[in-house]
Copies of this chain bind each other. A is one copy, B any other.
């Protein structure tokens, strides 16, 4: 009675602190609370009176720094850190950030969260001019641009370079004199400023990392902004005026920790509201509401409260899955041996169950969980998804670039229902999603990027344009997309 749980992954979390004698250790704790944003590798670079020193490796943060001396070695009053999720299969230490660059005339460290959409073009152009890349990372591109800029100051060179890159990015840059944060013109990725009791400033991908280190929230970094933190405090500048807020809606739906706030909205609350709205949009009579742990528990409890149907623990996740190296053989798998998720037959047997999940990517996971519940004796399984169907690829950092992997791009809701074996299936509407999250910005979808649901990309697609058009045509031939 167990099944694999899906993984929809995002790229990376970043954290930085300027002005605290235990900067690297604070980084460790901040990154630890961002570990859900990337498990492939981690690193920290500290600034010890102008001399940058770093440590990075493949693995979870606790593995990378399993020897305490690695943290103690990173002395200094400032540090930036990174946890990485790998999009491509290139699990080389060369791709683990922050990158540390030492030139004859300056030192810099860089960390990046997001995905550039003109990276291939920029990289090819730079290589033609003699540039040598050592990683597959977009981060290195920015470094080449900064070094080649003819502007007179580092800040000017950085600003010029930020204007050359397109897509989604939240950068942290550490120099001997300052910690710099920069956000793309659409603010796809969250980036928050906090302050410690001693006055030190902190930059972090999510506010949960501020909480963990005891920092007070100061403000969110806005699209097109650069934050410069140094011994004089922090200062905000803009490198472009051509901005429009488009926060990745999947941060609310799936990625971010429920205790984080994004643009002033608590993630758990947003999810619970989506669950409530889903109960209004797609009600059904049943004995219980269950959520798929862990990301759908908030939405499930919202659905339960709104509908008045009891909320039960019908699925249990093994908390020790993170690093399981040995897998069942094909034979054992067929025999029902699975490891991550269990259906609680003592709870669901003979019952009509509403199973709330946050999204459906390929459908294979949903199919397994429905099967799991039925094997455990559930009489009916009604699937309710607390977001709209994922129909379009994302080029801004979510690992769904390949549209062919999206079941909703190829099948109707009824076809999906049949595929996953549910007794009924409903998705939350686009409007329902936008209104449940409740942003109020003067921008499309009130400031949310909903592109994977609607195809309304907030930017030109640059390197991805051609492929995307081709794919789109093929899909439309088979199954014209309709919301």
Binding site for B on A (CB under 8 A): 1-2, 22, 25-26, 28-29, 32-33, 35-36, 60-63, 65-66, 68, 71, 93, 101-105, 123-124, 127, 129-134, 140, 143-144, 147-148, 196-198, 208, 211-214, 257-259, 261, 265-269, 272, 294, 297-298, 301, 304-305, 310-313, 316, 318-320, 322-326, 328-329, 331-332, 335-339, 342-347, 376
Contact = CB atoms under 8 A, between A and B. Distances in A.
Given A62-B325, A127-B105, A342-B208, A257 B33 contact: no
A32 B320 contact: yes
Given A25-B328, A124-B104, A339 B32 contact: yes
B123 A344 contact: no
6 contacts: A25-B329, A33-B342, A68-B325, A104-B127, A211-B376, A213-B335
Q: Which 9 pairs across A and B sit closest by C-beta, in order of nearness?
A: A214-B336, A266-B346, A259-B344, A130-B148, A1-B211, A259-B316, A35-B320, A134-B134, A268-B313
Q: How many copies does the complex hold?
A: 4
Nearest to A35: B320
Contact of A297 (B313, B318, B347): B313
A301 B305 contact: no
B130 A132 contact: no
Contacts of A294: 319
A331 B60 contact: no
Contacts of A304: 311
A323 B64 CA distance: 12
Contacts of A339: 29, 32-33, 212
A448 B93 CA distance: 42
Contact of A313 (B66, B301, B347): B301
Contacts of A124: 104
A324 B25 CA distance: 13
A214 B335 contact: yes
Given A258-B316, A268-B313, A337-B26, A211 B342 contact: yes
Given A268-B313, A322-B322, 20 more contacts: A2-B211, A22-B331, A26-B337, A29-B328, A61-B320, A71-B326, A93-B93, A131-B131, A134-B134, A197-B335, A197-B336, A211-B345, A211-B376, A258-B344, A259-B316, A259-B347, A268-B346, A269-B346, A319-B319, A320-B322
Contacts of A93: 93
Contact of A325 (B66, B130, B134, B313): B66
A132 B132 contact: yes
Contacts of A144: 130, 132
A134 B316 CA distance: 39
Contacts of A213: 332, 335-337
